[in-house]
Amino acid sequence: MPINVHSELPAKKIMEEENIFMMDELRAGSQDIRPLKIAILNLMPLKEETEVHLLRCLSNTPLQVEVSFISTASYIGSNTSKNHLDQFYLTYEDIKDNKYDGFIITGAPVENMKWEDVIYWDEVTKIMEWSKTHVTSTLHICWGAQAGIYYHYGIDKHELNRKISGIYSHMVHNRKEPILRGFDDVFLAPHSRYTEIKVEEVKANPELTVLAESEEAGLFLVMAGKGKQFFVFGHPEYDRLTLDKEYRRDLAKGINPEIPHNYYINDNPDIKPLLTWRSHSNALYTNWLNYYVYQNTPYEWK
């Protein structure tokens, strides 16, 4: 799919080197096509890395997508340059009057904190409330999924006695839902988190449908209503070496982490891990864009 991004965005060059068709705003403007407008609230500290992860996931349909990146104004991290944020990112004040076909809220490294202690919590909840009336479908990822299901449905997170990290097997439920088209009965996906949303608490809410879960890692995919909101509790967007980087980072910090589950061959961190989840990750994002964004969004927002 042609992805329309700022012509100077560093992620654009990386994607082109992977032979993924990228389109800058100049070429997109010459086409008589109404592109899907997708906004991404990027709460991850390594924003440029996350940009690549998500743009890669959005690159597998023939639809033209215009992507805007959003950051919080109430907190500016130190891992991304101010120049990058000024050039490529908007804030809520910039977008509050806009309508978007799709919206993505990423994870964030704050899951051990109470919701109200997160410095940008009020801003994120304002954006979540705004998304109910200004977005066709919203996809929440990891901490974003936990935060979203707490804000919208009052289901709180629970601390785990150890970090869930690795590649886990998941069972598909309600496979007739379009977002699961092309999925096998069992599929692999990464998780990386210290907290969880309990399956039984979600199943007790009639507005929510569990679409995929893991015996070892718990919830993976939950749908609200007919697809207005999705909550993805893993990280299907991760690339081959993301968990490796996290593992080595934690080692360097002296945290003494467990080796990520089912990730390294023979649990040997010196062997390059296999990429075993990309096809289902692509299917998830492609199905979301097609069936819940493109098929449902109005041609012109009123």
Distance CA 271, CA 125 (A): 42
Catalytic (active site) residue 235: yes
Catalytic (active site) residue 140: no
Q: Which of 123, 196, 237, 246 is catalytic?
A: 237
Query: Could you say which DSSP state residue 49 is in?
Result: H
Per the CB < 8 A criterion, the answer to whether 52 and 23 are in contact is no
Q: SS3 of 13, please?
A: helix
Catalytic (active site) residue 142: yes
Q: What are the phi and psi torsion angles at 68 (to 5°)?
A: -120, 135
End-to-end CA distance of the chain: 27
Q: Which of 53, 140, 191, 235 is catalytic?
A: 235
Taken in order 168, 215, 57, 55, the sign of the CA dihedral is negative
Helix, strand, coil share (%) of the chain residues, nearest 5: 35, 25, 40
| Strand boundaries in the chain, DSSP class E | 3-5, 22-24, 36-41, 65-70, 89-90, 100-105, 135-141, 158-172, 186-196, 208-214, 218-224, 229-232
Q: Which of 142, 152, 177, 246 is catalytic?
A: 142
Catalytic residue positions, numbered:
142, 235, 237
